[in-house]
Amino acid sequence: MELNGAQILVQSLKDEGVEYIFGYPGGAVLHIYDAIFQQDDVKHILVRHEQGATHAADAYARATGKTGVVLVTSGPGATNAVTGIATAYMDSIPMVVISGQVPSPVIGSDAFQEVDMVGISRPCVKHNFLVKDVTKLAETIKKAFYVASTGRPGPVVVDVPKDITDPNIKVPYKYPRKVIMRSYNPAVEGHKGQIKKAVELLLSAQRPMIYSGGGVILGEASRELIELTRTLGYPITNTLMGLGAYPATDKQFIGMLGMHGTYEANMGMHESDVILAVGARFDDRVTGKLAEFCPYAKIIHIDVDPASISKTVKVDIPIVGQVKPVLTQMIEQVKESKKQPSKKALAAWWEQIDKWRSVQCLEYDRESSLIKPQYVIEQLYEVTKGDAYITSDVGQHQMYAAQYYHFDKPRRWINSGGLGTMGFGLPAAIGVKLAFPEADVACVTGEASIQMCIQELSTALQYKTPVKIINLNNRYMGMVRQWQEFSYQSRYSHSYMDTLPDFVKLAEAYGHVGMLVENKADLRSALEEAFAMKDRTVFLDIITDRTENVYPMIESGKGHHDMKLRVAPGTPTDRELA
Amino acid sequence: MRHIISILIENEAGALSRVAGLFSARGYNIESLTVAPTEDSSLSRMTLVTRGNDDIIEQITKQLNKLVDVVKLIDLAESAHIERELMMVKVKTSEATRAEIKRIADIFRGRIIDVTPTTFVIEMTGTSDKLDAFVKSIDETTIIEVVRSGATGICRGEKGLHL
């Protein structure tokens, strides 16, 4: 079969099983768009800004486990995509980004809409390619998908000069079934000896903790994690990226850990003697002050990326491999082992954890007449029966969603953890809704974040992706305000937004339903009404208590045992700003 | 501690910038870096000299290995190895100093490869330390320029870095 470059590109995506491309046309990719026009298998979603394309594709990948695909033009199209590429990179999300490039002969001449995309994207991609020969195009696409989706996943950029997609140059096409790259051989199975040592250490623990992260979700190992945790009977905490890998409503789950983790999770980590870290990378938001991190613990770390091991925290038993096969082996060995966890030690440990739990660190002022953001998430949880896909932006609302929406399944919590990209939530919700049209999809956001990619409301209308936008409107950049309150004597430098749009009218202008919720009493019915409108995107502008802070909190530079807990409701500190 | 890391990398456009970019992005220090194709034209061999404690060197080698274009690498400091660097030094000469400069160059097994009425160019290979020692032993005011290739190295015996 002879095809031109543009057709090869589209056919390769089809052969790769791609369902959706998220993109935006422009000069350098016009040949490709013409090839897209002439087929129906790969559906193109036209976003309103390239950042939106990357977030939508990224969230599609997070929700489905498939690789997200983006198509942007050269120059500004490519640079606009960079934030989304970096977002995917930090959270290890498989994504292939095809960027147009000026024709090969003029590369390097500062041609119209030329940027060095390979150079610009290099620090925030897993790998990138510049296609120099149309006969190598199909193979390059195959390699891009292979690299993006295997090992520790990540975004891969394929930069395609316009002459490569010239409709007049046809070459034989065959999509390779597999590629072998001598320089790229991601680890699979873990080292048997290390696994054996790890199991022995785990079984001898007196105060064990399982700390799992996004790697468990990426590695489809939630079932194995649950089985191992239940077999052992140990407490488990999840990172922000790992929520849902272990059911949050299970009694062995002690909440998220880290900066806004629960008291019991952080204290448990601090006092633990053996930690099993699974697909987590000891991020600074998790560890707090490194010198005080888990002072009594021996640490086992399972990770597919050898560079994640002992990067910030030195571990005692590293296991490089995919979490699924490693956990499977561990389960077998635990079951076969004559040694079993000490019942007495474990009972004492759970007693201690329950004491920490009794602090009830997530309690808030339920009597308040104002709408508390936590209350909104709790109501959202009830109305959606805990079974929605929740995307979020970045800030206080993100933490409330993580703390109060109890994720019982993996891939339900879609947020920008590593890069912390405001503007992620709305395009992400669209990406998820396309993947799961029947599911409830809500974007938990704030009035600051939502404005960073608000233009995607237009995309939501075009593709009929009825998502629900839960705007926790506190008229502040809440998390910035909170830090300014704690660390800058309440000097609220530029964290206040006093010229907000009328979000209801804005939603209506985009052809959606807008609802303003100002009274606590109206919240539940508004949520129910919104979710009952199955075929409409609904923007719920919820006016929340503007002085509310996220608790508990490990302030930066402090250790797990040094948490700031909420002061009792009604005390002056809590009301200072009201 | 000083480490010489030898890297076999796909001979692709941008491979060098991936390595250099990694070092600058992660705040690692490059003392010298040399790169050239090998007997297999699809591969380049890079020799990188860096300094750091064991933890940093471990991270550097892991991060380098993580680059998709890197096929294989070895930290030469971990085993017996031979290190060589090429240097060319241009010095001012006069009737009075010529003999003395030639004598010092001979001691260091340097060769004079270009002569003009007022200059010598001395070529020398050796370990980086030896080259440092030579530069120190000649009169600083006579040096016009010093060009060094950066260190390269190879394992001793049958051990080696190959596919």
Question: Does A95 or B14 have the greater pLDDT score?
Answer: A95
Residues in chain B with CB shorter than 8 Å from the CB of A314 are 55
Q: Can you spell out the DSSP letters for A395-438?
A: SHHHHHHHHHS---STT-EE---SS--TT-HHHHHHHHHHH-TT
A113 carries an active-site annotation: yes
Hey, are the CB atoms on A311 and B69 less than 8 Å from each other?
no
Q: Distance between CA atoms of A137 and A130, rounded to whole angstroms? A: 10
In the prediction, which pLDDT does B163 show?
85
Are A58 and A95 a contacting pair, CB within 8 Å? yes
User: Number of C-alpha atoms within 13 angstroms, CB side, residue A405?
Assistant: 33
Residue of A nearest to B70 (CA): A183
In the prediction, which pLDDT does A45 show?
98
In the prediction, which pLDDT does A568 show?
59
Mutate to test the interface with A, among B45, B55, B56, B66 (most CBs of A within 10 A): B66
The C-alpha R_g of chain B, in whole angstroms, comes to 18
Closest by Cα among A403, A415, A385 to A248: A403
Contacts of A338 (CB under 8 A, 6+ apart): none
- A538 strand-pairing partners: A468, A513
Q: Complex ipTM, two decimals? A: 0.92
Residue of B nearest to A116 (CA): B14
If phi > 0 it is left, if psi is from -120 to 50 it is alpha, else beta; for residue A184 that is: beta
What is the full per-residue pLDDT of chain A (578 aa) written as tens digits?
A: 899 999 999 999 999 999 999 999 999 999 999 999 999 999 999 999 999 999 999 999 999 999 999 999 999 999 999 999 999 999 999 999 999 999 999 999 999 999 999 999 999 999 999 999 999 999 999 999 999 999 999 999 999 999 999 999 999 999 999 999 999 999 889 999 999 999 999 999 999 999 999 999 999 999 999 999 999 999 999 999 999 999 999 999 999 999 999 999 999 999 999 999 999 999 999 999 999 999 999 999 999 999 999 999 999 999 999 999 999 999 999 999 999 999 999 999 999 999 999 999 999 999 999 999 999 999 999 999 999 999 999 999 999 999 999 999 999 999 999 999 999 999 999 999 999 999 999 999 999 999 999 999 999 999 999 999 999 999 999 999 999 999 999 999 999 988 999 999 999 999 999 999 999 999 999 999 999 999 999 999 999 999 999 999 999 889 999 999 987 555 544 444 43
Contacts of A239 (CB under 8 A, 6+ apart): A211, A212, A213, A214, A256, A257, A258, A280, A283, A286, A417
Q: A312: exposed, middle or buried (C-beta count within 10 Å: 0-12, 13-18, 19+)? A: middle
Chain A contact residues (CB < 8 Å to B): 118-119, 122-123, 126-127, 130, 132, 147, 181-184, 305-307, 309-311, 314
Report the residue from B55, B63, B68 with minimal CB separation from A147: B68
Residues in chain A with CB shorter than 8 Å from the CB of B13 are 130, 132
Are A560 and A554 a contacting pair, CB within 8 Å? yes
A479 carries an active-site annotation: yes
In the prediction, which pLDDT does A566 show?
87
Q: Distance between CA atoms of A526 and A519, rounded to whole angstroms? A: 10
Phi, psi at A386, each rounded to 5° = 65, 15
Are A209 and A347 a contacting pair, CB within 8 Å? no
What are the angstrom distances between the C-alpha of B40 and each of A139, B10, B45, B163? 22, 10, 10, 10
Q: Helix B98-107 crosses helix B128-137 at what angle (to 10 degrees)?
A: 160
Both structure tokens of B110: 């340097």
In the prediction, which pLDDT does A574 show?
43
Catalytic residue among A16, A50, A224, A447: A50
Are A401 and A256 a contacting pair, CB within 8 Å? no
Secondary structure class of B125 (helix, strand, coil): strand
Secondary structure class of A85 (helix, strand, coil): helix
Closest by Cα among A68, A85, A67 to A124: A85
Q: Distance between CA atoms of A443 and A463, rounded to whole angstroms? A: 17
A162 carries an active-site annotation: yes
E strands along B20-129, which residues?
32-37, 43-51, 70-75, 81-92, 111-115, 119-126
Q: Distance between CA atoms of A412 and A432, rounded to whole angstroms? A: 9
The C-alpha R_g of chain A, in whole angstroms, comes to 24
Q: Distance between CA atoms of A364 and A69, rounded to whole angstroms? A: 42
Report the residue from A118, A127, A309 with minimal CB separation from B68: A127
Hey, are the CB atoms on B70 and A183 less than 8 Å from each other?
yes
B59 to chain A, closest Cα gap in Å: 6
A112 carries an active-site annotation: yes
Hey, are the CB atoms on A310 and B55 less than 8 Å from each other?
yes
Catalytic residue among A19, A39, A43, A113: A113
Contacts of A510 (CB under 8 A, 6+ apart): A457, A458, A460, A461
Residue of A nearest to B72 (CA): A183
At residue A117, what is the residue type? M
A316 to chain B, closest Cα gap in Å: 14
Tell me if the bond preceding B117 is cis, omega within 30° of 0: no
* Residue whose entry in the numeric block shows the structure tokens 């076969």: A336
Q: Distance between CA atoms of A189 and A200, rounded to whole angstroms? A: 19
At residue B159, what is the residue type? K
Are A280 and A217 a contacting pair, CB within 8 Å? no
Q: Distance between CA atoms of A245 and A312, rounded to whole angstroms? A: 24
Hey, are the CB atoms on A119 and B65 less than 8 Å from each other?
no
B142 to chain A, closest Cα gap in Å: 42
Contacts of A476 (CB under 8 A, 6+ apart): A448, A492, A495, A496, A497, A546
Secondary structure class of A565 (helix, strand, coil): coil
At residue A108, what is the residue type? G
In the prediction, which pLDDT does B13 show?
84
Both structure tokens of A569: 């409701």
- For chain B, the straight-line distance linking the first and the last C-alpha, in angstroms and rounded, comes to 28
Closest by Cα among A186, A258, A219 to A92: A219
Hey, are the CB atoms on A130 and B13 less than 8 Å from each other?
yes
Hey, are the CB atoms on B62 and A118 less than 8 Å from each other?
no
Query: At CB < 8 A and 24+ separation, what contacts does A224-232 make?
Result: A224/A323, A224/A324, A224/A327, A224/A328, A224/A331, A225/A278, A225/A323, A225/A327, A227/A327, A227/A331, A228/A327, A228/A330, A228/A331, A228/A334, A231/A331, A231/A334, A231/A335, A232/A202, A232/A208, A232/A334, A232/A341
Both structure tokens of A397: 């609302």
Q: Distance between CA atoms of A574 and A548, rounded to whole angstroms? A: 8
Are A156 and A54 a contacting pair, CB within 8 Å? no
Angle at A434 between CA A432 and CA A439, to 5 degrees: 65
Are A311 and A287 a contacting pair, CB within 8 Å? no
Q: What percent of chain B has pLDDT over 90?
A: 93
User: Number of C-alpha atoms within 13 angstroms, CB side, residue B42?
Assistant: 7
What are the angstrom distances between the C-alpha of B118 and each of A83, B93, B98, B123, B146? 58, 5, 9, 17, 16
Both structure tokens of A115: 């940027």
Hey, are the CB atoms on A306 and B65 less than 8 Å from each other?
yes
In the prediction, which pLDDT does A569 show?
52
By residue count, chain A amounts to 578
Report the residue from A132, A183, A314 with minimal CB separation from B10: A183
Q: Helix A222-232 crosses helix A323-336 at what angle (to 10 degrees)?
A: 20
Residues in chain A with CB shorter than 8 Å from the CB of B69 are 127, 183
A178 carries an active-site annotation: no
Residues in chain A with CB shorter than 8 Å from the CB of B14 are 118-119, 122, 130
Report the residue from A119, A132, A305 with minimal CB separation from B17: A119
Mutate to test the interface with A, among B68, B72, B161 (most CBs of A within 10 A): B68
B98: part of which helix (H) or strand (E)? helix B98-107
Secondary structure class of B34 (helix, strand, coil): strand
A136 to chain B, closest Cα gap in Å: 14
In the prediction, which pLDDT does A133 show?
97
In the prediction, which pLDDT does A572 show?
47
